[in-house]
Structure 1
């Protein structure tokens, strides 16, 4: 196949000709030469993780993927979720620039926001029938929602919406109101008041919170998404490997802020987003003991990286409306060293064991708090010192679904932790394990975060996990 390489700052981005047959699963192979990745990452992953990423789609191809994936989700994912949660009709109402976060995930790629006043209606006519998707708006919403409002015939948009609802006569009408889940609380107070005024008493009695459906829509991953997600994760690992190498770090000169902004620049050069600002932090033998509050509530300072440092990175990418969230470690070799001290390697192995315990506690129907409790009990029984704060991942970095611990709530998280696990969901397996390092005579924490998929029976890392430190040489 012929393709052209678009000139860009290093790394180079490959722009493939638009071919819809290639849209699903195109983030595959060939990154070491095209993206300038190192031949080895120094961090052990499953299979060839971290050694390859893939050819990134052009903006036009990305839009085609997003729209095809939305169509797939509407046809194959949403009907079962609506029936599971007992919602006959789902209303998503937003004015331009004040969008419901769920509505934003349903807009086509060419729509950067709602237009004027966008009202989306999703109606389930019953088992065996396709969902009806209507836009009570001045425009059809691409091919995803059919325009269902003629302003010339009915000037009042709210009354047009009410007429559509009365005609279909649904028993349960879901609206995105939630006290406990921000992502499911997208209807504004003004929209809610206007809706109730337009519907009247009879239909108002049928309004129900769509919280479970909103969470289900956001947390459930589709086949097209899972065809590209592992390679996005691999690309993140590859950038971490480069950042934690002598390509970027010169001990005694490079600062943590230098590495952070290198990651931001490389992400931008690839045409990718970052859903949070990366962090790079240092633990070292002569520094005061690790402080949990300091690590999680304050940004790392502008520290010069020195030989003997244990480096930690937190980094995430956004692409095709999917997000990654990854944490890994590097060790800066002292002159004459060829590997990290054994105590640090043992600490990493302990954190890997904690990962196994957490993923082994996953089970369909178990709540986040039940998974947390089971994992902590087993970890403590094995003399580990665990802190677990795993979360759903997908169209949002801190996604909808069950919270499995927070770093400062290890006894359970009310409400969000009581939500159950469902199949076909993705998670950021995030945690840390404390260990005493004999060579340093102090306690350190290994903080790991890897992205994984839960199929309902087992958890599989999307592209492996770190089991060896990245190693950075000193002059």
Structure 2
């Protein structure tokens, strides 16, 4: 274990100036891997934590988040009480990220209350349930004195007399729509009539809680990304692929088996596709991989509650070849150029829609044929926060109207289309996806990016 770098410590103070004491004791880092602009050649899987070490790390990260992120976002949003409700096996997206590593699910009905008393006092964290949730919340309900759980919550809120009571309802964002109709009706029936007009949407709180990355999380993220890169490197090698024998779907299932061996999860079934001279579109499934094919994969892991989402390209060398055809290499270079253009348009406060429009204008002016569909990443693979385009919509979208914020992680997902001379001018799709972090001033790759095609020899 090593301590965080000076950069991480200074970022902690910049992120949470009101919680410098909490930021000065960040979670330990399992592996000394820092952010890098270039992906390392032939990455290997870093040492992975045991189940107990993972739980301890997750709990440490969560405690820091509750101490620092919650006060910051409640004060930024002008909310003095936030109510969240979940039921066992039906945890809403926000509550699911607030459960400690030993409490894998909400118990029966779990009600969480955050209350900011103002005057610089600490935000109170209460749970109206029988359990204290790993000591992170104070149990605030005695069923022997008040058998009605909803009435107990209403009594607590009435005693606090908040000006705004946020609950998670949203037409637009699934992450902020966790309050079900039945739970809302029960809550409103118990709440005094004088307080009901004070109910507001907790959309801003939910999104900002989920999208904000802490210094301790970002100290870990490069190791998580390196792990995913290493598994992709194994998949795109002769260890897994025998040209003329291995099918695309066999590589997909190899990924799943490899993650079982490592004790890791994936948040979506891996994709593997083939583009081939003279073949239309992406070949998948039972299609056999051949020399001369351009391979594509889309793969992501979940580790320590954080997700990766990556797309890489590989070329299967023909006998006698030592590199991919120039046209394929030029196609990837065009996609790298589009990545640079998009990153140059990241600015805290700028909407996702504006970043998309600016990047597309610059890319088209540079003679590229772009498609941009980037998104936040973190607790969810397709994370909370503004989207920057969609593969099926390159125009402004309500989901991209929110501002890009500092201290958020991103999946830079996009493609360019390029005519490959060696393939008789065939239009080829050069997809790429790598993960990055915006600290408010600059965007950095979390564990580099691919600037060359992975080469798979035709012969062992």
What's the TM-score once normalised by structure 2's chain length?
Answer: 0.92
Q: Counterpart of 1:454?
A: 438
Residue 369 of structure 1 corresponds to 353
Q: Does 1:261 align with 2:253?
A: yes
1:388–1:406: 8 Å Cα contact kept in structure 2? yes
1:335 is aligned to: 319
Say whether the 8 Å CA contact 1:96–1:113 is kept in structure 2. yes
- Would you identify which runs of 4 or more consecutive aligned residues in structure 1 move more than 3 Å? 47-50
Residue aligned with 2:238, SS: coil
Return closer, same or farther for 1:285/1:127 CA change in 2, 3 Å cut-off: farther
Q: Distance in 2 between matches of 1:150 and 1:305?
A: 63
The residue number in structure 2 matching 1:431 is 414
Aligned partner of residue 68 in structure 1, secondary structure = helix
Q: Quote the offset at 1:48 in angstroms.
A: 3.2
Look up the match of 2:452: 468
Q: Does 1:188 align with 2:191?
A: no
Shift, 1:97, TM fit: 1.4
CA–CA separation in structure 1 for the residues paired with 2:449 and 2:265 = 22
Cα deviation, residue 156, structure 1: 1.1
Q: Where does structure 1 lack aligned partners over 5 or more consecutive residues?
A: 2-20, 30-43
Q: 1:261 to 1:136 in 2, by over 3 A?
A: same
Q: Does the CA contact (< 8 Å) of 1:50 and 1:234 recur in 2?
A: no
User: Does the Cα contact within 8 Å between 1:47 and 1:464 map onto a contact in 2?
Assistant: yes
Change in CA separation of 1:451 and 1:160 when aligned onto 2, cut-off 3 Å: same
> Which residue, out of 412, 416, 423, partners 1:440?
423
Q: Does 1:235 align with 2:239?
A: no
Q: 1:272 aligns with which of 260, 264, 272?
A: 264
Number of equivalenced pairs: 433
Shift in Å at residue 386 of structure 1?
0.2
SS of the residue 1:90 aligns to: strand
Pairing 1:38-57 to 2, within 5 Å after superposition: 46=38, 48=40, 50-57=42-49
- Judge conservation of contact 1:100–1:186 (CA < 8 Å) in 2: yes
TM-score (norm 1): 0.89
CA distance in 2, matches of 1:255, 1:149: 57
Structure 1 residue 28: deviation in Å?
Answer: 4.0
**Residue number among 142, 145, 154 corresponding to 1:150 in the alignment:** 142
Q: Secondary structure at the match of 1:205?
A: helix
1:96 maps to which residue? 88
Is 1:216 aligned with 2:200? no
Unpaired runs of 5+ residues, structure 2, are 2-24
What does residue 389 of structure 2 align with? Answer: 405
2:194 equivalent to 1:202: yes
Q: Deviations over 1:357-406 (max 9, x none)?
A: 01110001111100000000000000000000000000000000001000
